[in-house]
Amino acid sequence: MGKLSGKSIAIVTENGFEEVELTSPKAALENEGASVHIVSPQTDQVVSWDKKDWGKSFSVDKPIKEASVNDYDAVLIPGGVINPDHLRRSEEAIQFIKSFFEQGKPVAAICHGPQVLIETGKLKGKKVTSFFSVKTDLINAGADWSDEECVVDQGLVTSRNPDDLPAFNKKIIEEILEGKHEGQKK
């Protein structure tokens, strides 16, 4: 029985997510006993991006229209260039992710994933990192950006790229174990 036994985590994604940024955290969370669901505006499958071309298809466990924040202990957004742009267009996805902030539950995003968080309106004053090309977007949204492998701020976990996955995965697990973060609600 792992440290996260009984916990449920939603990975919110669209087509075009960086494959390893979904598979690595998913495996780390499942290895600790968590139940991990792929939640998406897509209803059947999502297709990854694997470095330079389309990758594998993954089954959607729950369409975003059927997902409830009350069923999950944390949310994770993988990066990739295509995925965040598509997610930002989904009002259901943005509202679902925003609900985790409002309930003080851990929120994690890697690489280009933090771009999605801009749409929640919840980044003002938050410490974050990301892939360097979205730095200005995050700063313009009011975030305090820094170039570190993993930044944690009151349950908000962000990392820059796939090289940071070991630190990112470790911190996600820690934040889920800590539970709700009252400072996250601001």
Active site residues: 111-112
Q: Strand locations in 8-123, DSSP E?
A: 8-12, 17-18, 35-40, 45-50, 53-59, 62-63, 74-77, 107-110
Pairwise CA distance, residues 31 & 54, whole Å: 27
- Report the Cα 50 to chain-centroid distance in Å: 18
What the block records as the tokens of 11 is 């990975």
What the block records as the tokens of 31 is 């290895």
Pairwise CA distance, residues 59 & 46, whole Å: 7
Instruction: Name the residue type at position 175.
Output: E
Pairwise CA distance, residues 165 & 40, whole Å: 22
Nearest CA to 12 out of 65, 66, 76 is that of 76
Kind and range of the H or E run holding 86: helix 82-87
Pairwise CA distance, residues 82 & 87, whole Å: 9
